[in-house]
Structure 1
């Protein structure tokens, strides 16, 4: 039985959600922005806003000068999350294996559904019409034998439904720009591809055919890049699972690369994570700090914590921030994710040391925060966070 993977992409999801909430916006040029600060950027925009010269990633200060009639709307994460969850429930009616990704994008494993739908294309139309009828959202659906090709199909084709037949993956990818391949977005590969003027996927296909040359050029990325260039992907559609983890994140009021500001934000998030760990009487064997840049890139680093006091968690997270922040671009968001929880048993010490003092201080702060709220007592570093 051939695999059949659908990728649903609801174009300009944020703009469509705003227009559903307010019908008066349906013919007006609008742009969803990260913040109203002049360094904020455009995240999504309508066709009318594009006609005025605005584009995704443009600075808010420049957008205000160019698009005088365009309405700049703040990012409404609560609205988008609710719409995203609602659409997930709709597409779950068509397959038991649904993997929601970012807002407005979903993978469906439709393998073995031939007995229900006459054809895969017909199933795609049913799903698209159902989403539009129940949620009022429009988009594209890519159909192929794997997630990679289906995802790319919704990026490059304007058709409502686009199907790539089994065996035609390499032909479909060949004329496309090289940037559609995920591995090409790796910084080192991106520089190499530009230097060698490998503008299309077929140019990469020609190189990876010669394994010796490809290994010299792409080194550790050779195998993955070769698979992507020929349209091969064995990753499965994985429904979301409930993980025992603690996530704290913040979208900065102002995009910045100021080290003092970033360390203050990270320390505040780390104390929130530590507070929740102590409440559960657990320690996280895996703590990840991720930084999200204004151009969409993100980097993260992971390490292990042995204690759950503020000093231990904060020191670890600040070190991970320094290792993860490898670019000069401004940062939009910082995320701390603690997973792999284990119970913790603090051994009583005969003599006081720094570890005992840190745990005693954390316990005293927890007492105040439990009674009066987390923000009732803060470290001095919190004063460096921009309001």
Structure 2
């Protein structure tokens, strides 16, 4: 059966949502950036600001010099989250299989829904009109796969829907610039242009595999498939399994690795105790770091079969926290839970005797914390990475579920 995939795209979503509440922001150059600092970077830009030469990632000071009329607004994560939830609810009415990729972007798998909604294009038109009822301008791409639908949704059209017929994916992509394809950044685009005079996707798809391997290495075959409009990736439905999450917002932006690792250890320990209480264990974990300029870094990892939760998350921290910018927030979350009696610990796994001894210590600490609170007792391993400034922040940290 041929697939029908929709991609809903609300351009500059944080700005579009802000404009619903503040009509004075409409039809003028707007950027989202941290307030009070010209050293911060632009997080989102309106189409009017882009036409003035402002782009995402540009320092705020430079953006204001380039566009003096630029209106800079502070991020509003709660507003964006509420608006995103409204879009999710709409998507759920059209298909049980939908995937939010980031705020303002949702994939929907409409395969097999023809009797209910008619052609995929008809469903896309209806969805676009429904989003317009929220005073948001949405564009919907329709094709047989996620990549082509995503690209189609970025090519704005008058009626808000761009439909790519099955079998026409390659011809649709051929006249577009190579950087519309995933996996082709600025460096590879310059290499294609300077060494091979390749500017368009159609020219890229015509290259032989030897030339592609010279530029893309082991990814050459994947890039060739993408250039031909082939993308077998499924639409992953939103996770409905339990997720255990904790986060900490530092009272003062922090750049001391010892303090940050101590806070991370505290978050992991709180989650670990919840797993022990529920007699469950996670198979996957993720870490998010939000810097003082509101830029974010995140990564996920599959956990092994041992009891140690902290070491994998510490590895993620050392991989992610590489900027010379203070950290404002850290969040950890675990999912893919299964029942299991293993004693989840903050320590590395050791011999059976060591594991048994660690389990006894952990049980005793859990009982003390339940009776007297979080701040009374901590692992020596945790203190190694923790300054006294961190512990008050962890006290009273409750169920901050993801």
State TM-score, norm by structure 1: 0.77
Where do 1:111-150 residues align within 5 Å?
A: 111-116=111-116, 119-133=119-133, 135-150=134-149
Aligned to 1:227, which of 225, 228, 252? Answer: 225
Contact 1:35/1:253 (8 A) holds in 2: no
Measured in 1, the distance between the counterparts of 2:222 and 2:355 equals 54
Contact 2:3/2:110 (8 A) holds in 1: yes
Name the counterpart of 1:9: 9
Name the counterpart of 2:273: 278
| 2:78 corresponds to 1:83 | no
Structure 1 unaligned segments of length 5 or more: list them.
Answer: none
| 2:174 corresponds to 1:174 | yes
| 2:340 corresponds to 1:343 | yes
Structure 2 unaligned segments of length 5 or more: list them.
Answer: 345-351, 394-402
Measure how far apart 1:48 and its partner are: 4.6
* Pair 1:350–1:190, CA change in 2 (3 A): closer
Name the counterpart of 1:37: 37
Name the counterpart of 2:306: 306
1:163-215 per-position Cα deviation (integer Å, ceiling 9, x unaligned)? 11111111111222222221224x996685466454322232122xx345544
* Pair 1:268–1:20, CA change in 2 (3 A): same
Name the counterpart of 1:21: 21
Measured in 2, the distance between the counterparts of 1:182 and 1:290 equals 23
Measured in 2, the distance between the counterparts of 1:149 and 1:215 equals 23
1:6-62 per-position Cα deviation (integer Å, ceiling 9, x unaligned)? 111011211121122334433554322245433322222334544665432222233
Measured in 1, the distance between the counterparts of 2:140 and 2:299 equals 29
Name the counterpart of 1:381: 387
Measured in 1, the distance between the counterparts of 2:136 and 2:365 equals 51
Contact 1:39/1:254 (8 A) holds in 2: no
* Pair 1:191–1:324, CA change in 2 (3 A): farther
Measure how far apart 1:241 and its partner are: 2.5
Measured in 2, the distance between the counterparts of 1:42 and 1:101 equals 21
Contact 1:97/1:238 (8 A) holds in 2: yes
1:65-121 per-position Cα deviation (integer Å, ceiling 9, x unaligned)? 555554322211111111111122123323333222211111122234444556443
Contact 1:177/1:201 (8 A) holds in 2: yes
Q: Secondary structure at 1:381's aligned position in 2?
A: coil
Contact 2:209/2:221 (8 A) holds in 1: no
Measure how far apart 1:314 and its partner are: 4.2
Measured in 2, the distance between the counterparts of 1:350 and 1:7 equals 52
Contact 1:43/1:57 (8 A) holds in 2: yes
Measured in 1, the distance between the counterparts of 2:362 and 2:116 equals 62
Contact 1:40/1:255 (8 A) holds in 2: no
Q: Secondary structure at 2:225's aligned position in 1?
A: helix
Aligned to 2:285, which of 281, 284, 287? Answer: 287
* Pair 1:292–1:203, CA change in 2 (3 A): farther
Measured in 1, the distance between the counterparts of 2:6 and 2:41 equals 31
Measured in 2, the distance between the counterparts of 1:61 and 1:363 equals 53
Stretch deviating more after TM superposition (329-338 or 2-11)? 329-338
Contact 1:285/1:306 (8 A) holds in 2: no
State TM-score, norm by structure 2: 0.74
Contact 1:287/1:305 (8 A) holds in 2: no
Measured in 2, the distance between the counterparts of 1:253 and 1:64 equals 29
* Pair 1:204–1:255, CA change in 2 (3 A): farther
Measured in 1, the distance between the counterparts of 2:177 and 2:7 equals 20
Measure how far apart 1:334 and its partner are: 5.1
| 2:197 corresponds to 1:200 | no
Task: State the aligned residue count.
Answer: 371
| 2:243 corresponds to 1:245 | yes
